Amino acid sequence: MAAEEETEMGNPLRKEIERLVEAGNLRGLLEKAGELHGHLCNYLSYGVIAGYVAVRELGVKSTGMEKVLALVETNNCFSDGIQMVTGCSFGNNALIYRDFGKTAVTVAKRDGTAIRIVLDPDFEDSRDKEYPEASELWNKIVARRENAAPEEHERMIRLFAKMSINELAKPVDTIFRMKRTKITMPEFAPIFASVRCSICGENVMQTKARVKDGKPVCIDCAEGAHYVLDGSGISGKGARQASML
Ligand SMILES: [Zn+2]
Ligand SMILES: [Zn+2]
């Protein structure tokens, strides 16, 4: 109960977001999310709406201290809307990434009460038909990386911004499939000591350090295999790829 009360108190650092959530001001939330995302697009809107629905349904406010968790299943634009509205971020350990490649999120309270929200596939399939010009430009400029005139770039940005605002007015139950659920909450993020790499002299989280000639070294200096999260999701990188990053 104590944890729940804490989430109800509100967070002075996030008062603008909380005010927008309280007022149901999706447009304002989208603009806030745009500060983080850098462009406006429909998937950002879906993340904003999903985040908004989740925090309203669960009645939670972020303390920035893992009281509320968001388990995202994609690292596309959607996840930035989720981060801004729920306050669960990569850096505060309240964002958990599951590499499923699905536009979906589960937002959970410390007691495990949760809601899972996934983009409805029929809704998703209908987007291309509704915004043919935007889709065509996106396919040309983003998907195929073809050379495009600056005016085409600008046109795409404008069309996507317009689309992102339009999408906010769609009925939520046509955009998503939503269900209440219960999850087993992970432990709070552990705190690890740092050790100094004997080669580059930089500090490294103890659990990430390797040993070379009896001394601690960082993965980079050890040219060790590691995981990388990029536009393709999580993948393992060996020594050769790591040096190219
Ligand atoms: Zn985007
Ligand atoms: Zn090093």
Question: Residue 181 C-alpha to ligand 1 middle, in angstroms?
Answer: 28
| 40 CA from centroid of ligand 1 (Å) | 6
Question: Is pLDDT of 45 > 50?
Answer: yes
Q: Which helix (H) or strand (E) covers residue 123, if one does? A: helix 121-130
Ligand 2 centre from 223 Cα, in Å? Answer: 9
Round to the nearest angstrom and report the end-to-end CA distance of the chain: 46
107: β partners: 70, 115
Q: What per-residue confidence (pLDDT) applies to 227?
A: 92
Cα 198 to ligand 2 centroid, rounded to whole Å: 7
Q: What is the pTM of this model?
A: 0.89
User: How many angstroms is it from 57 CA to the middle of ligand 1?
Assistant: 25
Nearest to 41 by CA among 178, 135, 150: 135
**What's the CA-to-centroid distance between 39 and ligand 1, angstroms?**
6
CA 91 to ligand 2 center in whole angstroms: 22
The tens digit of pLDDT for each residue in 187-228 reads 888 888 999 999 999 999 999 999 999 999 999 999 999 999
Res 129: pLDDT: 87
As a residue count, the chain comes to 245
Q: What 3-state DSSP class applies to 27?
A: helix
- Flag the least confident range among 81-95, 97-111, 185-199: 185-199
- pLDDT at residue 8 tops 70: no
Asked if residue 245 has pLDDT above 60, the reply is: no
Ligand having the closest approach to the CA of 77: 1
Residue 166's nearest CA partner among 40, 33, 4 is 40
Listed residues: CB within 5 A of ion ligand 1? 41, 44, 77
Q: How far is the CA of 44 from the centre of ligand 1 (A)?
A: 5
